[in-house]
Amino acid sequence: MYDNLFSPVQIGRLEIKNRVAMTAMGLNLAAAGGGVNDDAIAFYEARAKGGVGLIISGLCRVLDGAGVGEPNQLAARHSGDLQGLERLMDAVHKYGTRIFIQLHHPGREGQLMFGEQPVAASAIPHPLSGQSPRALTLPEIGKIQTAFVTGARIAQMAGADGVELHGAHGYLINSFLSPYLNRREDNYGGSLENRLRFLVEILAGIRAACGQNFPLGVRISADEFLGDQGNDLAASCRIAAALEKAGVDFLDISCTIPESPPKAALTCIEPGTFEQGWKRYMAAEIKQHVRIPLIAVANIKEPQVAEEILREGCCDLVGVARGHLADPAWCNKAKAGRAEMIRKCIGCLVCINEICHHRHIKCSVNPTTGREREFARPERNGAGRTIAVIGGGPAGLTAAMVLKDRGFHPVLFDAARRLGGTLNLADKGIGKDKITRYIDSMIAQAQESGIDLRPGEEATVAKVQALSPSGVFVACGARPFIPPVPGIDGGNVVLAEEVLLHPEEAKGDCVIIGSGMTGLETAEVVLKSGHRTTIADLLPEIGAGADMMTILDAKQRMAPYDPTYLPGHKLLRVTQEGVEFECLATGLPVRVTADTVILALGVRPQTDLVARFKAAFPDAHVLGDASRGGRVVDATQDAYGQAFVYEP
């Protein structure tokens, strides 16, 4: 079925069993201060067990101080890091998976919170933080180059199959390669040859220390989207050819730096609205200029897309990163012809958002990501005892599958005919097809597991009592919040959920109250239907609290329709003519004329329904939105944890 995907491939003299590479991701999961710990080992071992051919580790520091990229990252600084790295290599190699260590220095992406001013090729201020790095002196350049060589030698001694140097995304190596970031006037700046010098000298040092047969590669930003001010695809083809000549064995093709225009910046780690495989053209173009293997990072979620890209000859290995956060067994399921059982990444960017806030990696659709060791050994003591689960959304389905795995007999009720809960609304937004496929995969997994699924059947206390269950899990979700303001019950007021299901409910000019993801998704639907739209929120920023990149993506897609944004506006009343607000900054009234007022103010738990079941079953467990409205990740993590530790 996937003949190309599961054929072997060579990098240098190293054979890799298939063409799927789990490319590097920040995890913030390793030891405090840098180094391997049991959590990092458990994370990577789960993906190796799942059948991936090649793992490229997350950021591995070669220096402390200004060389720190994450609070908790792998490290290859000195001999003290050897033992931990060796344990990691051994854990991965048991499954026939190869692992490369990604050696990294953050450059100006380093943060003052780690104790030292960031350093870079040149003192170009960071566009987000505003902080300026210090330009490296020549002696400092030599010291850092030596650290990279030492890191490679330590990785080799630990049993790593190779190393990748991170030369993309504005990090230190990229700050030398990029003409936008490198303003030096010495031998390390100016011409392409000079800008390559820092990296080429590192490569030569690694070859001298590790030999000619140790696989060595570089991740590059193939396009910085800055025209001739930065490296475009044509310039990166020249860089790729020069790196091949310098002796690298493979290239890992990514894109962007922090200065990339906002629309292009999204292409480094795309939100779920981006098409799978869209970036393949970058690797395809570079492949015309080199003979060494290429890894394409192209927003690949599903095996049929990966197979297609390989069949086209765009690359030699496909990078599947977030897909392996969502399902560590991605490869094994695909190879077995069971792609429908793969838990699908929805592109929500919770993973990167957690890392940006210095928390460990999480995944909305896989609660065990980053907690593999904690959830390694479920107690299988269900003995066939019946558990009632009320609600078939992400929380209910997650709890039911954990309980089934533990040997219980879950009976899951849901009033809707299609399981998935409010995700069946979330997927009605534009470009949300990945959510639909995630729901499909959850339903397929639940059906295969043998759970007693009862879609279209509303749970009542009497029905649940008739089961004589040993436990009850209430995951009935939440209801949209309707604020108690004058006019809110008017005929011109509708819920965002109603508009997503029935766009014709929006008539004439629209005002959307609430700028969370539901509000923005609804706004895009009505804007594209031709309605003039105002989006208002009490909070001082549109989309406050949501992932920054997801909000940027939504606003960019809506920009051609010219919506009006009113952050920091308190809803006072709804009238037949529209809405009256108070501007919190000025205290002045603001009136917006509208034909349709759409409420997108979040949800509140169904406390009445929860209370009924708690009265009948005092020990009932309340999960997800039924307990506290929140994100998908909050619901699935809550449900998995409670079901994992449940004792009848």
Q: What residues act catalytically? A: 171
Task: Give, in order, the Cα–Cα distances in Å from 81 to each of 72, 84, 275, 313.
Answer: 14, 6, 40, 39
DSSP conformational letter for 33: T
Q: Measured between alpha carbons, how far is 480 from 43 in angstroms, rounded to an integer?
A: 37
Q: Measured between alpha carbons, how far is 118 from 123 in angstroms, rounded to an integer?
A: 9
Q: What's the token pair of residue 258?
A: 């922090």
> DSSP string of 308-363?
HHHHHTS-SEEE-SHHHHH-TTHHHHHHTT-GGGSPPP----HHHHHHHTTPPP--
Q: Measured between alpha carbons, how far is 333 from 352 in angstroms, rounded to an integer?
A: 25
- Give the number of other Cβ atoms within 10 Å of residue 476's Cβ: 28
The length of the chain, given as a count of residues: 648
Q: Measured between alpha carbons, how far is 124 from 131 in angstroms, rounded to an integer?
A: 9
Please give the backbone phi and psi of residue 94, each rounded to the nearest 5 degrees, phi first.
Answer: -55, -30
Please give the backbone phi and psi of residue 291, each rounded to the nearest 5 degrees, phi first.
Answer: -110, -10
Query: Which residues contact residue 579 at a Cβ distance below 8 angstroms, ignoring those fewer than 6 apart?
Result: 511, 513, 536, 571, 573, 591, 592, 594, 597
Q: Measured between alpha carbons, how far is 364 from 634 in angstroms, rounded to an integer?
A: 8
Q: What's the token pair of residue 474?
A: 């209430």
- Give the number of other Cβ atoms within 10 Å of residue 189's Cβ: 18
Contact yes or no for 24/321 (Cβ under 8 A)? yes
Query: Which residues contact residue 615 at a Cβ distance below 8 angstroms, ignoring those fewer than 6 apart?
Result: none
- Give the number of other Cβ atoms within 10 Å of residue 54's Cβ: 27
CA angle 102, 105, 106 (to 5 degrees): 115
